[in-house]
Amino acid sequence: MDEAEGITRDRLYAKADYFGKPYEVIDTGGIDPSSTIPFNEAIRRQAEVAIEEADALILVVDGQVGLTDIDEQVAQLLRRIDKPVTLAVNKLDTLDRQSEIHNFHGLGIEHLVGVSAAHGLQVAELLETAFRDTSWEEEVPEEGGPLKVAIIGRPNVGKSTLINHILDDERCIVSPIAGTTRDSIDIDVEIGGTPYRLIDTAGIRRKKSEHEVVDKFAAIRTERAMERADICILMLNAEEGLTSQEKRIAKEIETMGKGCILLFNKWDLVKGFRMEHCLESIRKEAPFLGHCPALFISAKTGRNLEKVFPEVDRVAVSAAHRVSTGELNRFLEKAIQKYHPPMLKGKRLRIYYVAQVSVQPPTFVFFVNKPDLMIDSYKKYLINTFRKSFPFSGVPLEFSLKGKVDRHLVSPKT
Ligand code: GDP
C-alpha cells in the first residue's frame, strides 16, 4: 500500500499543452500556513514539494473575498523563492471587473492576472504571464552514451537497497555524477568494465522527513525516468505480486517502447509458493511482462544480483536487433501455410511481405492488400508466432499494416 494513501487531498497532476508547448500542472491541496491541524500540515508539505518541483508558480486568490491573512503569508513565502510567481485573482467573472486585481497589489507580486476559472476567462493570459521566463529547450539525447537503466517500482519495494548493493559491489566503479536532474538522480557506473547510467527514482538522497510526500511524486518521477531510459528494471515485491499500479507502469513501458526486466525482490521472505506461480500470474495479468526476463532476487542478501546486468545487456541487444527480410518472409510463409488468413465478407486478406523498419523498439510492417481485412484473432496468432520465432526478450515490438495503394484513387495531380 502506498505510504501516503491517508492524504486524500492530494496534488493533482495533469499534462497540458500551451500553443504546442507541453507542460504539467501540479495542483496543490491549498496552503494554510497558520493552521495547526495535522491534515493541513500534510497539505502544506505537499505544496512545498510541489513548489520545489515546479518551474513556474501561480498563487490563486479569491477576488470576491478580497485579501486575507493567509494570502499575505503565502505570498511572503513565495516571494522568497527564486522562481517566477504569478498571482491569479480568481472569480472576476466579467471583464469589467478586471480592475479589482489592484486590491491585491499589496501582496508584492508584480505579475497579476484577473481570471474566472468557472468561466474560463483570461486563462491564456494567465498562462502567458506564468510562462514568461520558461524555456522549453529539450534535453538533447546523448548519442552513443552509456546504456541508461531506470530502476523503478513502488515505494518500499527495495530500490534504494538494490542501488546501494550495486554501488557497494567491488566490480562496480562509480564515476563522478555527470548530471543530476530534478526528478531523478543519475549515477554513472562501470560494472565489469561496461558503462551504465543508472536512473534512480527512489530519491534516496532526500530528507527522511519528506519521505511520504516525496513518494507521492514517485509517479511523475517514474514516468520521466522511463522516458529517458533505454531499459527499465521494474522491481516488484515478491510477497505481494503484481499490483494494479505495476500493471499500469508495465503498460507505459510497453507504450514507450522500452526494454524491461522484472525483479521479484524480497525473495528471502517468500515461503510456500513457487517461481512458476509468480511467472504464470504475470503472463495472465500483464501480457507484455510475460516476454520480459524475470529474476528472483533479494536486494538485502544479494541473492541473484550478479545476474541483473547480464540480463540488462541481453535486453539491450534484443532492442537493437535487426531481422533480415529473408528470415522474416520465411517466417511469414510458414505462418500463413499453417493457418490461412480467414475470409471476411467474401474477401481474403493477402500478406505480401513483412519488413523491419526500425529498432528500439523493433518495428515491423506487414504489407497487405487491405488492412481492414485483418481480424484481431489472426493478428494475435501472427504476433504470438512471431514472438516464438524471434528472440526479442524483454522488448516491446511494434507491428503495423500497410495496404496496397489503390491506383484508381491516386490520380496524377494536374
Ligand atoms: P525503496 O523505497 O524502493 O527505495 O525501498 P528500500 O530500499 O528503502 O527498502 C524498503 C524496506 O525493504 C527496507 O526496510 C529494506 O531493508 C527492505 N528490503 C529491501 N530489499 C529487501 C529484500 O530483498 N529482503 C528483505 N527482507 N527486505 C528488503
DSSP run (H or E) holding 26: strand 21-27
Q: What is the model's pLDDT at position 119? A: 87
Structural domain containing residue 297: 147-319
Q: List helix spans (H) across 206-306.
A: 211-216, 218-228, 244-255, 275-285
What residue type is assigned to position 382 of the chain? L
Q: What are phi and psi of 189, to 5 degrees?
A: -135, 165
Residue 250 has pLDDT above 60, yes or no: yes
82 and 225 belong to one structural domain: no
289 and 173 share one domain: yes
Atom nearest to 153 CA in ligand 1: 3
Neighbouring residues of 118: CB distance < 8 A, sequence distance ≥ 6: 91, 93
Strand arrangement of the beta sheet that strand 398-403 belongs to = 351-358, 363-368, 398-403
User: What contacts 24+ positions apart, CB below 8 Å, involve 117-124?
Assistant: 117/60, 117/90, 117/91, 118/91, 118/93, 119/93, 121/92, 121/93, 121/94, 121/95, 122/92, 122/95, 122/98
Q: Do 256 and 364 fall within a single domain? A: no
Residue 341, pLDDT > 70, answer yes
Same domain, residue pair 248 and 167? yes
The pLDDT tens digits for 197-249 are 998 876 434 444 445 555 556 667 788 889 889 999 999 999 888 888 888 88
Of the pLDDT bands very low, low, confident and very high (cuts 50, 70, 90), residue 182 is very low
| Confidence category of residue 141, pLDDT binned at 50, 70, 90 | low
Residue 59 pairs in a beta bridge with 87
Q: Does residue 337 share a domain with residue 290?
A: no
Distance (angstroms) between ligand 1 centre and the Cα of 179 equals 26
Protein residue closest via CA to atom 9 of ligand 1: 158
pLDDT the model gives residue 331:
95
**Domain membership flag for residue 200:** yes
Q: Give the Cα separation of 193 and 367 in Å (integer).
A: 43
Q: Which atom of ligand 1 is nearest to the CA of 164?
A: 7
Ligand 1 mutation pick, 3, 151, 156, max ligand atoms within 8 A of CB = 156
Of 268, 293, 319, which one is at a domain's C-terminal end? 319
Statement to judge: residues 303 and 331 lie in one domain: no
More confident residue, 9 or 395: 395
| Residue-wise DSSP of 160-203 | HHHHHHHHHSTTEEEPPP--B-SS-EEEEEEETTEEEEEEE-S-
pLDDT at 365 over 90: yes
* Domain assignment of residue 356, yes or no: yes
Domain's final residue, options 319, 338, 362: 319
Give the CA radius of gyration of the chain.
27
Give, in order, the Cα–Cα distances in Å from 159 to each of 155, 166, 234, 265, 336: 8, 11, 9, 9, 45
How many angstroms separate the alpha carbon of residue 331 from the centre of ligand 1?
45
In terms of domains, do 122 and 154 share one? no
How does residue 140 score in pLDDT terms, banded at 50, 70 and 90? low
| Domain CATH for 393 | 3.30.300.20
The predicted-structure confidence for 66-113, as pLDDT tens digits, reads as follows 888 888 888 888 888 889 999 999 998 887 888 888 899 999 999 999
Residue 6 located in a structural domain? no
* Residue 120 located in a structural domain: yes
Ligand 1 site residues, Cβ closer than 6 angstroms: 153, 155-161, 202, 265-266, 268-269, 298-300
Task: Choose one of 2, 222, 300, 301 to mutate for the ligand 1 pocket test, by most ligand atoms within 8 angstroms of C-beta.
Answer: 300
* Residues 285, 210 within the same domain: yes
Distance, in Å, from the CA atom of 368 to the CA atom of 403, rounded to the nearest integer, reads: 5
More confident residue, 281 or 144: 281
Q: Which single residue is written with the C-alpha cell 496468432?
A: 381
So what's the pLDDT on residue 308? 96
Ligand 1 pocket mutation, candidates 151, 154, 161, 214, criterion most atoms within 8 A of CB: 161
Nearest CA to ligand 1 atom 22: 266
How close is the Cα of 247 to the center of ligand 1, in Å? 21
Type of residue at 412: P
| Distance between Cα 6 and ligand 1 center (Å) | 22
Rounded Cα distance, 53 and 26, in Å: 9
The rounded distance, in Å, linking the Cα atoms of 89 and 121 is: 11
Residues 281, 216, single domain; the answer is yes
| The pLDDT value given to residue 74 | 83
- Reading phi first (left if > 0) and then psi (alpha if -120 to 50, else beta), residue 59 is in beta
Residue with cell 520480459: 292
For residue 239, being part of any structural domain is answered with yes
CA 105-109-111 angle, to 5 degrees, is: 95
pTM: 0.69
Residues 180 and 311 in one domain: yes
The CATH number of whichever domain residue 222 belongs to comes to 3.40.50.300
Neighbours of 207 (CB within 10 A): 9
- Residue 244 CA to ligand 1 center (angstroms) comes to 20
Is 85 or 143 the better-scoring residue by pLDDT?
A: 85
pLDDT at position 181 is 45
Rounded distance, CA 52 to CA 57, Å? 10
Atom of ligand 1 nearest to the CA of 157: 3
199 and 303 share a domain?
yes
Q: Whose CA is nearest to atom 7 of ligand 1?
A: 158
Q: Which residue's CA is the nearest one to ligand 1's atom 18?
A: 158
Measured CA to CA, the distance from residue 393 to residue 395 in angstroms comes to 6
Q: What is the mean pLDDT of residues 23-32?
A: 70
Instruction: Give residue-wise pLDDT tens across range 388-408.
Output: 999 888 999 999 999 876 555
- The per-residue pLDDT for 307 is 94
Averaged pLDDT score across all residues of the chain: 82
Q: Considering 81, 99, 130, which residue would you say is the last residue of a domain? A: 130
Under 8 Å between Cβ of 160 and 265:
no
The verdict on 271 and 381 lying in the same domain is: no
Write the residue with the smallest CA distance to atom 25 of ligand 1.
Answer: 266
Structurally, the chain folds into a number of domains equal to 3
- 44 CA distance to ligand 1 middle (Å): 28
Write down the pLDDT at residue 147. 94
